[in-house]
Amino acid sequence: MSDTACVIGKGIQIRGNLSGSGDLVVEGRLEGHVALEDHIIVEEGGTVVADIETRELTLNGKMSGNINANERVSISSSATVMGDIRAPRVVIEDGARFRGNIEMEVPLPDNI
């Protein structure tokens, strides 16, 4: 996470498409489609209703939408997530609420 992260503060609502590079911290509400090259963090009070494409996603709040991450998705025990996840690494802590499918692009051994 860089020192120059963009923050959507508590009480702020954004609707629409968001794209670019840089880190993003969501403490408010974000709706639409998000395509960011770096790290997105949804804080405990934050809500995202969007499909997300990013390098890394950390969820502590609420999320509804599909996730496509190049590196990693982390879902903390305080998070609620509804949607499909596609990422090579997925971490779901005990106590997290998740409904959806997970696709991890891992090649299977030939002898299965």
Q: How many helices (H) and strands (E) in the chain?
A: 0, 13
For residue 57, what are its two tokens? 């996603």
Which pLDDT tens digit goes with each residue over 41-87? 999 999 999 999 999 999 999 999 999 999 999 999 999 999 999 99
- Given this model, what pLDDT does residue 4 score? 74
Q: Residue ranges per domain, the chain?
A: 6-98
Q: What is the DSSP string of 22-47?
A: S-EEESSEEEEEEEESSEEEE-TT-E
> What is the pLDDT of the chain when averaged over all its residues?
92
pLDDT at residue 109 greater than cutoff 80: no
> Does the pTM exceed 0.85?
yes
